[in-house]
Amino acid sequence: MPFSFDLQHLAPGSAARRGTFHTPHGPVETPAFMPVGTQATIKGLTIDQVRSTGAQMILGNTYHLALRPGEEIVRDLGGLHRFMGWDGPILTDSGGFQLYSLAQNTKITEQAAVFRSHIDGSLLELSPERSIAIQEALGSDVAMVLDHVIALPAADEAIQDACQRTIRWASRCRAAAKSQNQAQFAIVQGGLNPELRVWCAAQLAALDFPGYAVGGLSVGEAPDEMYRVLDVVCPALPTNKPRYLMGVGTPQDLLEAIHRGIDLFDCVIPTRNGRNALAFTDSGPLRLRNAVHAKDDRPLEAGCPCLACRDSRAYLRHLFLADEMLGPILLTHHNLTYYQRLLAAARQAIAADAFTSFTAAKRAAWRSQVVA
């Protein structure tokens, strides 16, 4: 298969790793952050603008694309890459997260999850086999196995049940694979239970997937609880395979997770917050609706190459108060650029054996400014 993971450097005093993940649509330098393109678009940006943030690989969503426009239309139009005009690597999630986020409209059996569509009420049966068939029709480089994500806190028995189902479904996903140009990543579940997490990781590691994800986190638990899960899961995963932390997180979360050995991330935090007038900077977040910015001629961040940082904070604030689309557009571009620059700097720091001091400096700077 046209996939491999080259591990180039390990940081001293940290589990941080510098690597390259090779895919049919090009390499991904890791650690890397994938912007979220749920409905075949990163909200508010043209595909050129996505590229200009420094993004290497993006995420699409199996559940949403299967409902609309339907994976057959995407396949018939040349696959998701061509459909949305992105020629780099794409990872698709499996729909497993929707077992959690749309739990009220979902019935789960050993065979499959059955969703009542949030769009028109029609039924979508998502079995492991169907999830893989959809992802193969979409033509993503990386397909995620269908996993069973549950809400936390939950009883140990429920967590164990979902965890075991996740392992059985991973095997079925693998058996269902027909494409040579798509790698499947398995997903470790187990809630906040360290024994279950390690057991699940070991079971999946024995199946020798081309990559591994940590799922079921960032569902309401405290950051420290998430970090403790990573402390035990990462050492239980194969060293020579990419590790993907699903749906995480803040800039702080990313550095903490990289420190624990994570290579890949996706999250809506930079895009969703950008649409809501929050800009990430090296001095901490700025809330652009605040009156303090009304006459401020400075850019969000000096030296930032994004589209927003050619304008004043006063102009950006005006756009949000006037309810103009350009406000969300520009802050989305800024925040994604911020995330990509942060990851690029992290990669450099790891390669230079300076990741620990890099992280300490970032943490201190983020705390330096009263939130405005």
Q: CA gyration radius for the chain?
A: 20
Using CB under 8 A, which of the segments 139-147, 195-203, 257-265, 313-321 binds its own copies? 313-321
Q: Which of residues 82-111 bind its own copies (CB under 8 A)?
A: 83-85
255 forms part of the interface with its own copies (CB under 8 A) = no
Rounded to whole angstroms, how far apart are CA atoms 333 and 307? 7
Size of the residue set binding its own copies (CB under 8 A): 38
Query: What does DSSP assign to residue 114?
Result: E
Q: Are 183 and 89 in contact (CB under 8 A)?
A: no
Rounded to whole angstroms, how far apart are CA atoms 13 and 149? 33
Tracing tokens 């979360």 back to the chain, one arrives at 253
Q: Quote the least distance from Cβ 127 to its own copies, whole Å.
A: 25
Q: Are 141 and 87 in contact (CB under 8 A)?
A: no
176 forms part of the interface with its own copies (CB under 8 A) = no
Task: Decide whether 19 or 44 has the Cβ nearer to its own copies.
Answer: 44
Task: Decide whether 168 or 298 has the Cβ nearer to its own copies.
Answer: 298
Candidate residues 57, 288, 319, 346; the one interacting with its own copies per rule CB under 8 A: 319
CB-neighbour burial class of residue 310 (10 A; exposed 0-12, middle 13-18, buried 19+): exposed
Q: Are 326 and 310 in contact (CB under 8 A)?
A: no
Using CB under 8 A, which of the segments 6-14, 220-228, 262-270, 291-299 binds its own copies? 291-299
Using CB under 8 A, which of the segments 16-24, 103-111, 141-149, 312-320 binds its own copies? 312-320
Candidate residues 4, 41, 164, 181; the one interacting with its own copies per rule CB under 8 A: 41
Question: For residue 105, what are the contacts with CB-CB under 8 A and spacing of at least 6?
Answer: 115, 116, 118
Candidate residues 9, 22, 43, 272; the one interacting with its own copies per rule CB under 8 A: 43
Rounded to whole angstroms, how far apart are CA atoms 359 and 349? 9
Using CB under 8 A, which of the segments 138-146, 221-229, 304-312, 351-359 binds its own copies? 304-312
- For β-strands 123-126 and 142-144, DSSP reports them as unpaired
E-assigned strand segments in 165-221:
183-188, 211-214
120 forms part of the interface with its own copies (CB under 8 A) = no
Q: Are 45 and 51 in contact (CB under 8 A)?
A: no
Candidate residues 2, 12, 46, 156; the one interacting with its own copies per rule CB under 8 A: 46
Task: Decide whether 45 or 286 has the Cβ nearer to its own copies.
Answer: 45
Q: Which residues bind its own copies (CB under 8 A)?
A: 39-41, 43-46, 48, 64, 68-69, 73, 76-78, 83-85, 294-295, 297, 307, 310-312, 314-315, 317-319, 321-322, 324-326, 328-330
